[in-house]
Amino acid sequence: MVSQIISADSHIDMPWLPPKLFVENARPEFRDRVPYVEETAEGPYWTIKGGWEFATQRRILSVNGAGAIGVPYSKGVSPRFDKFAETGLFVDGAKGVRRLTDVKLRIEDQNYDGVRAEVLHGLTGIETWCPDNDVVAEIYRIYNEWLGSFCSERPDRFVGLACLTTRNPEYAVAEARRARENKLKGLLLYTIPGQYERCQPFWHDSWDPI
């Protein structure tokens, strides 16, 4: 029986997104610059060309990994991740079954947890890895369109928030205006620690249109 609990902070982050989402939906000028999945000796990794000077590698997130940062699951590191593992989440993920981004399977997990609905957002941190404002805007555009489509399959169970870049208010305003077209119900502005010098502070008048 489903309870009336609503999760107001649920993620659909890059690790569990469809592997070809960005490459297949990017405009031609961005196709070789957006995130893609690369097969490695350690397994598949989300990868992006370029990156900040402190990035030690272009691989950024383990496919179907744990948490928003997509680390490969290892037992005993996190009690929360161990709980996920007990349900078979990571075993399924290794088989290509992405329960977090499959509407039917995610609802089954909602029911298991006693959750009535979720407010969904994601991609927190991607601006840390991508220095190109144009590429960040394209990544968010693709994600927001995908999230809107995902939520529209069961609007009684999923409410999506549009991700907006914090490095360029003009881009953020344009994407906010598209959010309603994508059937999203709110906005997410997520400032990355250590990136403040690259962002306009939220009290700046350039954010007034938001």
* Contacting residues for 140 by C-beta, under 8 A, at least 6 apart: 123, 162, 163, 164, 165, 175
* Contacting residues for 91 by C-beta, under 8 A, at least 6 apart: 85
Cβ-count burial 52-66 (b if 16+ within 10 Å, e if not): eeeeeeebbbbbbbb
pLDDT at res. 198? 67
* Cα 129 to Cα 21, 55, 60, distances in angstroms: 18, 7, 8
Q: What is the SS3 assignment for 9?
A: strand
We report the CATH number of the domain holding residue 129 as 3.20.20.140
The range of the structural domain enclosing residue 84 comes to 5-207
The whole-model pTM stands at 0.91
Please give the tally of structural domains in the chain: 1
Taking only the tens of pLDDT, the chain with its 210 residues reads 556 899 999 999 999 999 999 999 999 999 998 999 998 888 898 988 765 544 445 667 889 988 887 888 889 989 989 999 999 999 999 999 999 999 999 999 999 999 999 999 998 778 877 888 899 999 999 999 999 999 999 999 999 999 998 888 889 999 999 998 888 999 998 776 655 566 777 888 888 988
Q: Are 146 and 100 in contact, with CB atoms under 8 Å apart?
A: no
